[in-house]
Amino acid sequence: MKAPYIMAGDGGLETLLPTIEFLQQNGATMLEIGIPFSDPVADGPVIQAAGLRALASGVTLAGVLAELEQHKNRIAIPLVIMCYANPITRFGIERFAQACATIGIKGVIIPDVPMEEETPFVQALRPLGIAFIRFITLTSTTERIKETLADAEGFIYAVTVKGTTGERASYEQDIFKLLQQVSAQSPVPVYAGFGISTKEHIANFLAVCDGVIIGSTIVQALYEKRYDDIIALLK
């Protein structure tokens, strides 16, 4: 399973649907739709720059949700929204959940909301069949992993590096051991993300987990209109 991440509205909101259609036609099995935010704590420089471009184009959470709803019948693969807590809270948690349900969003990733603070979001999303996606990292303790896997929904997002998003030349071997451990215990699929940028990375991670999330490489290639590179990576 290969799940590209895209920054919604990088290049203008009118690019969102064509980008989704291009990716779903060329090997993407799920898409993570990023919502631009002014203070993205988990994002590396490539995704930060894409978010700033989208914000400069006037892209908002409300605008992205409206665009997705308008064209939902042309979207053939599962969508997951990645958004920070502040825009969702300002929009209204219940209103956000209802909008996601109308579109058919399968899951929501909120990287600045730990399990201890997830309840208001889960209570709004779960009754509508929308998964609240949890993270596991290289610094997660055995007890924390156990807590994270308990009643996990959708999939587990396994962060492959210590740090923010962005391309990496290599990975600590500990991440592959962690992925094997988590995959053996997890009641839901496990996806690896952060820094995955080559076909070799993809193959290595797919050997020990269920899927990969490919972010900065896709975002930069879309910005530079290197569509053949994206096709080669996803095929």
Report the alpha-carbon distance of residue 96 to residue 86 in Å, rounded. 12
153 has catalytic annotation: no
List the alpha helices (DSSP H) in the chain: 16-25, 45-56, 61-70, 85-91, 93-103, 119-125, 142-149, 174-185, 199-206, 216-223, 227-234
Q: Is residue 4 classed exposed, middle or buried when 0-12, 13-18 and 19+ CB atoms within 10 A define those classes?
A: buried
CATH of the domain at 76: 3.20.20.70
Query: Total structural domains in the chain?
Result: 1
What is the distance in angstroms between the CA of the first residue and the CA of the last residue of the chain? Answer: 11
Active-site residue among 14, 21, 32, 147?
A: 32
Active-site residue among 10, 43, 67, 210?
A: 43
**pLDDT grade, residue 194 (50/70/90)?**
confident
- State the pTM of this model: 0.92
Report the number of secondary-structure helices (H) and strands (E) in the chain: 11, 9
CA angle 179, 191, 73 (to 5 degrees): 170
Structural domain boundaries enclosing 184: 2-234
Contact (CB, 8 A) for 68 and 33: yes
32 has catalytic annotation: yes
Residue range 169-175: mean pLDDT, rounded: 67
Q: Is the pLDDT of residue 143 over 70?
A: yes
pLDDT by residue (tens digit) across 11-20? Answer: 999 999 999 9
Q: Is the pLDDT of residue 146 over 70?
A: yes
